């Protein structure tokens, strides 16, 4: 079955409100005729509302970079799913390796965040991926399958099919070292098989799996040829409208 590709730009902690609005305004005309890809930009929290307003009427969707699992309460520094939907957020990156490595996020927490986002109508983009050490030990397929199973725990098959998973080998993020197309395909295929075993073939056929890690305009075409790669999560190259538009218009 044909899965619609999804390409998301993770702006990380970059761009003020003004810079984010300017970037999305620059992007709109460059991607306006693209109806073959779901295009998502994920600004930092302060810029979400402004970017969401600026992209109105375009084919660009807005994603957050995290969400808390509770609806409200004493959770200093956190944002709830309802607070995000109020300002037009439709996607949310979850379990990014930077959140896991620098802020101690766990597989259990990622699962709770994913379930809260989904329940509020936000599509989680759930990140997984192995460190260089695990890759070199040869244990990367087990590691990624474990992260995926933990993140999807408690979802029903008809929910799983609507989710997005981003396979991001940590050693390829921001390093300029892209995984080879075969390496990306091997792990994305394994993720799909893991989903099939736990949630059935329909969920596996429909869930969208992105690759992330130093994706550039020059690499996207070949990456998208891989049968189990349904899109990309793009960091650095999403900060320039021209580069990101060339990626989404592959
Ligand atoms: C990311 O952080 O999700 C990412 C893929 O970054 P980059 O494209 O810069 O490697």
Q: How does residue 97 score in pLDDT terms, banded at 50, 70 and 90?
A: very high
CB 169 near ligand 1, within 6 Å: no
Nearest CA to ligand 1 atom 6: 235
What is the DSSP pairing of strand 164-167 with strand 123-128?
Answer: parallel
Q: Of 7, 62, 61, 58, give the one whose Cα is nearest residue 29.
A: 58
Across the chain, which distance is largest between two alpha carbons, in Å?
Answer: 48
Q: How does residue 1 score in pLDDT terms, banded at 50, 70 and 90?
A: low
* C-alpha span between 225 and 173 (Å, rounded): 21
* C-alpha span between 180 and 84 (Å, rounded): 35
Contacts made by residues 190-194, CB under 8 angstroms, sequence distance 24+: 190/141, 190/144, 190/145, 191/128, 191/144, 191/145, 191/148, 191/165, 191/167, 191/228, 192/228, 194/145, 194/148, 194/149
CB 207 near ligand 1, within 6 Å: no
Catalytic residue flag (residue 96): yes
Which one from 161, 168, 185, 246 is the annotated catalytic residue? 168
- The residue whose two tokens read 């609005």 is 21
pTM, whole model, 2 decimals? 0.97
Q: How does residue 108 score in pLDDT terms, banded at 50, 70 and 90?
A: very high
Which atom of ligand 1 lies closest to the CA of 234?
8
Which atom of ligand 1 lies closest to the CA of 214?
10
Average confidence score pLDDT of the chain: 97
Mean pLDDT, rounded, for 205-225: 97
Distance 84 CA to ligand 1 centre (A): 23
* Structure tokens belonging to residue 43: 């600004």
**CA 79, chain centre distance (Å):** 18
Q: What is the pLDDT of residues 163-207, one digit of tens each?
A: 999 999 999 998 888 789 999 999 999 999 999 999 999 999 999
> How many C-beta atoms lie closer than 10 Å to residue 86's C-beta?
11
**CA 213, chain centre distance (Å):** 11
* C-alpha span between 196 and 206 (Å, rounded): 10
- What's the DSSP call for residue 138? T
Nearest CA to ligand 1 atom 7: 235
Q: How many residues does the chain have?
A: 250
């Amino acid at each position: 079955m044909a899965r619609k590709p999804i390409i998301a730009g993770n702006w990380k902690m970059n761009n003020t409100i003004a810079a984010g609005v300017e970037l999305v305004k620059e992007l709109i005309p460059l991607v306006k005729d693209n109806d073959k890809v779901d295009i998502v930009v994920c600004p930092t929290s302060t810029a979400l509302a402004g970017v969401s307003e600026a992209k109105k009427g375009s084919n660009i969707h807005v994603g957050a970079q995290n969400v808390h699992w509770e609806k409200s309460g004493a959770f200093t520094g956190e944002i709830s799913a309802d607070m995000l939907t109020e300002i037009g957020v439709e996607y949310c990156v979850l379990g990014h390796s930077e959140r896991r490595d620098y802020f101690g996020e766990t597989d259990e927490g990622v699962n709770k965040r994913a379930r809260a986002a989904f329940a509020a109508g936000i599509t989680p983009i759930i990140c997984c991926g192995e460190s260089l050490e695990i890759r070199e030990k040869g244990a990367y397929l087990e590691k990624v399958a474990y992260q995926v199973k933990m993140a999807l725990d408690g979802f029903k098959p008809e929910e799983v099919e609507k989710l997005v998973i981003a396979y991001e080998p940590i050693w390829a993020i921001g390093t300029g070292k892209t995984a080879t197309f075969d390496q990306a395909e091997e792990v994305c295929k394994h993720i799909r098989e893991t989903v099939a075993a736990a949630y059935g073939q329909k969920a596996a056929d429909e869930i969208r799996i992105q690759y992330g890690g130093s994706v550039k305009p020059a690499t996207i075409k070949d990456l998208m040829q891989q049968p189990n790669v349904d899109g990309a999560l793009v960091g650095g190259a999403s900060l320039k409208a021209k580069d990101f538009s060339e990626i989404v218009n592959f």
